[in-house]
Amino acid sequence: MNKGEGSKTAVAAAMLRAAHQLLDGPHKLLADPVVLRLLGTEAIEWILANQQYYFLPGILAMRTHIVLRSRYAEDCLKVACKEGIRQYLILGAGLDTFAFRQPDWAKELQIIEADHPASQQNKKERLDKAALSMPSNLHFLETDLESLELQLALNSPLIDYHKPVFVACLGVLIYLSPQSIANLFRWAGGLPQGSQLVFTASFNTESRNSLLADKAAKAGEPWISYFSMPELEARLIECGFDHIELLTPAIAEEQYFKGAHLVLPPPRRTSIVKAVI
């Protein structure tokens, strides 16, 4: 990533969530009016003027993935919140908007958005421009997930390490080195019992040669880390997780797409994982 500018792929992901608001008809997988404000008029006009691009098969599949991962994480968070979790840590939050459209059930949460300082700065500028004020339960934490001492990087008084934490890490691992991912899993696996990690991981090595991989590399954020499922499960168990759930295409279709009249096609691959300690 260009450390002076902030993440371009965070903006690209937000553009796909915005396209979902603008182009996918009345039935939404994720209703997110805030993302349109964060991106602003120019971006909205660009999406509306380039609708064909957003319906290319690869872009459509990526839109499903990006919208679904947020919806799934927020659904899991809702259940965790009902069970008493009060801390929501979003690693590599980018232009995530949950904190700005939080439902009543989230009001008792402390929400911590951890991201690279440059990406966070970019978000703050967008928030100012959109006249969106910070909710009182939202905190920003500058973090470099490539830092060797992840625990120190995340060692913040904002997080109470005696209580369970719900951690989301969406669209981030693919950019991190294997060593940083190992550190992250070890750190997350050491969180108190009841903590949860919802994350995305790429199992599809063929995607290295896709249009989107090429775009990410050109943006200075190459896709570098891929997993096999057995390897991922073994690593998570070794790090202290004891319940690992994959959002398979069949489950996703049943849970989110069947009868929902969505324009978005259901996912064809598994890439969203929930791991519980």
List interacting residues with ligand SAM (CB under 6 A): 1, 7, 9-10, 13, 92-94, 96, 115-116, 119, 143-146, 170-172, 175
Measured from the CB atom, the residue of 146 and 245 that comes closer to ligand SAM is: 146
Measured from the CB atom, the residue of 66 and 191 that comes closer to ligand SAM is: 66
Query: How far apart, in whole angstroms, are the C-alpha atoms of residue 67 and residue 94?
Result: 14
Pairing relation of β-strands 87-91 and 166-169? parallel
Kindly state the smallest distance separating residue 242's Cβ from ligand SAM, in Å. 25
Kindly state the smallest distance separating residue 228's Cβ from ligand SAM, in Å. 22
Three-class secondary structure of residue 63 per DSSP: helix
> Structure tokens of 270?
């598994």
* Residue number, nearest CB to ligand SAM: 94
* Beta-sheet strands, E only, within 116-271: 138-142, 166-169, 196-200, 243-246
Measured from the CB atom, the residue of 149 and 242 that comes closer to ligand SAM is: 149
Kindly state the smallest distance separating residue 73's Cβ from ligand SAM, in Å. 9
Measured from the CB atom, the residue of 63 and 246 that comes closer to ligand SAM is: 63
Measured from the CB atom, the residue of 110 and 121 that comes closer to ligand SAM is: 121
Kindly state the smallest distance separating residue 44's Cβ from ligand SAM, in Å. 17
Kindly state the smallest distance separating residue 115's Cβ from ligand SAM, in Å. 5
Helix, strand and coil percent figures for the chain, each rounded to 5 = 50, 10, 40
Give the dihedral sign, CA 63/69/70/71: positive
Query: How far apart, in whole angstroms, are the C-alpha atoms of residue 277 and residue 269?
Result: 25
